[in-house]
A = this chain, B = another copy of it.
């Protein structure tokens, strides 16, 4: 199944990203940028990890959710927020709605990880479970909207969310200076779109790549084919990367992305274990995926081509989240 994007989205400006950053900065963590000499030596690069896994609610999703919810007028916000999410965006919306003092309804697929459901509830979100299908999800969301008057905050098909997610790359670029390349995971494309936009304005020479499970390769196929490819479902271990691009994020990525690396399940787990063992930070599979391509010499060779004096490439990675069930680790 494929569809043409319905319309070109408006270009989001640096001013919009900066305004989002100002709006959310007092409420979120300025997450640390970590480095590992061991991983640098292993990969033959200088890698800067922007640790959004250490962010409030355990992922970057709080950036977009907070920006969207605090962009609403009093009247708009007064009936609460509704969204659908398999996990991290749901927790982020529940948390940010709580800060705003309004209720949050979260539609989640029945197969969402238990710890992600528990997180939504811990932040005060009201969960409605649905079948793990796009149609069921949309129906449940529409019904709640009709019943409550709540505002829908889509996980990624929303400009306020995209500029919010863009602030992670903005902070990274402000902190570490010039980068040759940045990598981020891609699912619905909110984080990756935001990352390409911040790079475009702040360091236009930097090449931005997405990292996607080979088992959920719809974004790769969309960009290859030039038409938006949907994906019915995937059982990739990267449970946060099972969504598909929206027209809005597809258009931004078509314009600004350098490419997508497909990653196997085994490569995701290997990268995850390396990050846990060497960097001592907890990353979920959907997040660790962004290191995996750099563990292959051919990726580094490609990134390094054309660098002056054979210097090692400077690479930024957005470690997107750390919400993982400690009782269900893939390495034993």
B-chain residues with CB within 8 Å of residue A53 when the two chains form the complex: 280
Tell which of B35, B280, B332 touches A322, judged by Cβ atoms closer than 8 Å.
B280
A189 proximal to B (CB < 8 A):
no
CB-based contact A280/B54 at 8 Å: yes
Complex CA distance for A32 and B53, rounded to whole angstroms: 14
Nearest residue, chain B, Cβ from A115: B277
B-chain residues with CB within 8 Å of residue A34 when the two chains form the complex: 29, 32, 54
A276 proximal to B (CB < 8 A):
yes
Complex CA distance for A332 and B325, rounded to whole angstroms: 10
Shortest CB distance A151–B (Å) = 25
A37 proximal to B (CB < 8 A):
yes
CB-based contact A54/B279 at 8 Å: yes
Q: A37-B56, A54-B281 known; A276 and B331 CB under 8 Å?
A: no
CB-based contact B322/A331 at 8 Å: no
Tell which of B32, B279, B327 touches A332, judged by Cβ atoms closer than 8 Å.
B327
Q: A37-B56, A281-B54, A282-B281 known; A327 and B322 CB under 8 Å?
A: no
Contact with B along A242-283 (1 / 0, CB 8 A): 000000000000000000000000000000010011011111
Complex CA distance for A322 and B273, rounded to whole angstroms: 14
CB-based contact A280/B281 at 8 Å: yes
Given contacts A29-B34, A281-B281, 10 further A-B contacts (CB under 8 A): A32-B32, A32-B34, A34-B54, A37-B56, A53-B280, A277-B326, A280-B281, A280-B283, A327-B332, A329-B329
